[in-house]
Amino acid sequence: EDQVTQSPEALRLQEGESSSLNCSYTVSGLRGLFWYRQDPGKGPEFLFTLYSAGEEKEKERLKATLTKKESFLHITAPKPEDSATYLCAVQGRSGNTGKLIFGQGTTLQVKP
């Protein structure tokens, strides 16, 4: 069964204090790993897709990396507007391949 575990559940940072969020996964053949951002009262917003180990994607202060067992979302010099819940999801190659399995998310709070 495909599974996604995110850690930590919650993270508090001071503005400018860099850190990383972890996403560990088990899947029968990875088709893609996805990162989303969710603000309170809104739907998840797509950030990145990673397809193979060693791949990296960047967007502003965020960088996502992928290994065969986990993905990291690195946040460099975060700002208060980066505060949100970050969700990781995997899409497998076996069975019904259209669906994404989500982790529980990491709630990030960045204080000024």
Partner 1 sequence: DAGVIQSPRHEVTEMGQEVTLRCKPISGHDYLFWYRQTMMRGLELLIYFNNNVPIDDSGMPEDRFSAKMPNASFSTLKIQPSEPRDSAVYFCASSFTGGHGYTFGSGTRLTVV
Out of 30, 82, 86, 105, point to the residue binding partner 1 (CB under 8 A): 105
Which of 10-18, 58-66, 67-75, 101-109 is the region at the interface with partner 1 (rule: CB under 8 A)? 101-109
* CB nearer to partner 1: pick between 79 and 99: 99
Q: At its nearest, how many Å lie between partner 1 and the CB of residue 26?
A: 16
Out of 27, 30, 36, 86, point to the residue binding partner 1 (CB under 8 A): 36
Q: Tokens for 36?
A: 């989303």
Q: Distance between CA atoms of 28 and 100, rounded to whole angstroms?
A: 13
Q: Tokens for 33?
A: 């790993």
Q: Distance between CA atoms of 75 and 13, rounded to whole angstroms?
A: 10
Q: Tokens for 105?
A: 């998310």
Binding site for partner 1 (CB under 8 A): 32, 34, 36, 41-46, 49, 87, 96, 98-105
